[in-house]
Structure 1
């Protein structure tokens, strides 16, 4: 996501995302969706690096989907929104405990970003990765 920054005049105007309707979801299956630490780390990277972060619907509750199983796996309906829907993810009381943890974490992170211009608009300094560890400074 950041390796080609050098070719752009203003990286603050670039869109960053974990997934979208044309790519596999970051969380490809239920096992990955249950790994909260991996999910949280990805969201922290997305929302604290440069650019304009984009969240794809379902990211807020940890949707999973594998593109190798077809586009339907990436574009399933968001639960709820209609009276006849048996399940709804639009309110805290109707989401699962796991979905609420993911939603609450994302909400806290978004509020942190919103209240900190250095995170939302500041410069980004990247360090050379070492032993598969990526370090950046805002």
Structure 2
């Protein structure tokens, strides 16, 4: 997000998924996917003020709507979104946890990238530091992957020390579920509009 774009992330998501209920849930999901990608690909993540609570805005004829005031009314005395603001709370907590995750995992802070899979909907990659590794997979489709994909941990491409760290165990950053490795292959499936991150340290 920034003031030079046509619209903020949440505005883009709400255009495709208007209304409350299921529409809002999908908009939150799309926004989380975008932010998860921002915090796991190479580079230093930067967010525009208000993105942390899903602030909306459109460029239109000028920048005024993209520079609307921060919605301070959603913030409680503990400096976190109040529980009645479900959208704001969900996105705030998601970004907070992504920041913690980056701080705890060197691979996500400054690791190199090895792409394991890429097509029009799914992108899977490793982030590798000297003694750390993270595995990330993004499903940008709306449907759950019909079958798990099998990603070869080819030692000609992936250093042996990295293969060893993966085999020894990476865990899902939210659920703690171990990454499945069978016969030298990562076996993984992902729900629609979801990013899954497996690493050695969880927030």
Q: State TM-score, norm by structure 1.
A: 0.71
Q: Is the contact made by 2:115 and 2:126 (CA closer than 8 Å) also made in structure 1?
A: yes
> Which secondary structure state, in structure 2, belongs to the residue aligned with residue 28 of structure 1?
helix
Decide which of 83, 86, 89 is 1:100's aligned counterpart.
Answer: 89
Decide which of 8, 11, 14 is 1:31's aligned counterpart.
Answer: 14
Structure 1, unpaired ranges of 5+: 1-18, 81-86
Decide which of 16, 39, 61 is 2:53's aligned counterpart.
Answer: 61
Q: 1: distance between equivalents of 2:117 and 2:13?
A: 33
Q: Is the contact made by 1:29 and 1:66 (CA closer than 8 Å) also made in structure 2?
A: no
Q: What pairs with 1:1-138 in structure 2 (closer than 5 Å)?
A: 19-23=1-5, 24-28=7-11, 31-32=14-15, 34=24, 35-68=27-60, 70-80=62-72, 87-89=73-75, 90-93=79-82, 96-126=85-115, 129-138=118-127
Distance verdict in 2 for CA 1:118–1:66, change over 3 Å = same
Q: 2: distance between equivalents of 1:67 and 1:118?
A: 36
Q: 2: distance between equivalents of 1:113 and 1:98?
A: 23
Q: Is the contact made by 1:29 and 1:65 (CA closer than 8 Å) also made in structure 2?
A: no
Structure 2, unpaired ranges of 5+: 18-23, 128-203
Q: State TM-score, norm by structure 2.
A: 0.50
The structure whose residues are more often strand, as a share, is 2
Cα drift, residue 96 of structure 1: 1.0
Provide the aligned C-alpha RMSD in A: 2.3
Q: Give the stretch that moved more between structures: 29-38 or 116-125.
A: 29-38
Q: 1: distance between equivalents of 2:62 and 2:49?
A: 18
Cα drift, residue 27 of structure 1: 2.1
The structure whose residues are more often helix, as a share, is 1
> Which of the pair has more CA radius of gyration?
2
